[in-house]
Amino acid sequence: MTASATIQGFALPSARTLTNLTLGGFAGLGFWELFSAVPTAWLAEFPLEPPELVKSLFAHQLGLTLSTPAAKLLHFVTGFLLYPLGYWVLTRRVKSFGMPADGWIWGVITYFIALAFFAPLAGQHFLLNDVPRLSLMSLLGHAIYGYVAARVFEELETRAP
């Protein structure tokens, strides 16, 4: 199989690349889950609760009550598949700075997606500016998530198939 398939001029990741993106996403998400629960709770006095943001988003925007397991599943799919795919699209379609900058930048972008875009849609303050330490910990966690996910992906991609 070639490195990517093309649909109307847009390259899609190969099965190998998609697997590597997912593995990178799982590595980043594993870090994120630990970071959001333990150091964040110590330093910000609250853990980060992405499933609660997802539940609030669905309630505010669609009037739907989402279960905690469903919200966790949506957050996990975003962390191990959707955000890594976003990283791949941006670093393959836009001028890239290379690793490690691309990973850090993508992590910060995921922070803005979550807290500048989705949080206000979910009825939360923009960037959680009402709880600045929680917002800062989210920024740090997302940045490191992006770095870990991108680093693992890029390392796996450089290995021979």
Q: CA neighbours within 13 Å on the CB side: how many for 59? A: 15
Range name among 56-70, 76-90, 94-108 with the lowest pLDDT average: 94-108
Is 144 within the bounds of a domain? yes
- Token pair recorded at residue 32: 């994120």
- Looking at the 3D structure of the chain, how many domains does it have? 1
**pTM of the full structure:** 0.89
The larger pLDDT score, comparing residue 39 to residue 160, is at 39
List 11's β-bridge partners, or say none: 6
Peptide bond into 100 cis (omega under 30): yes
Which letter does DSSP use for residue 46 in this model? S
b or e along 99-113 (b: 16 or more beta carbons within 10 Å of the residue's beta carbon)? Answer: eeebbbbbbbbbbeb
User: How many residues are listed for the chain in this entry?
Assistant: 161
Whether pLDDT at 58 is above 70: yes
* Alpha-carbon span 136 to 9, nearest angstrom: 39
- Alpha helix ranges (H) inside the chain: 15-37, 39-44, 50-62, 68-77, 83-93, 101-112, 119-121, 132-158
Is 46 within the bounds of a domain? yes
Residue 160 confidence (pLDDT): 79
Is 67 within the bounds of a domain? yes
- Token pair recorded at residue 90: 């941006």
Output the average pLDDT for the chain.
92
Is 6 within the bounds of a domain? no
Residue 61 confidence (pLDDT): 96
What range does the domain containing 113 cover? 22-158
Whether pLDDT at 150 is above 50: yes
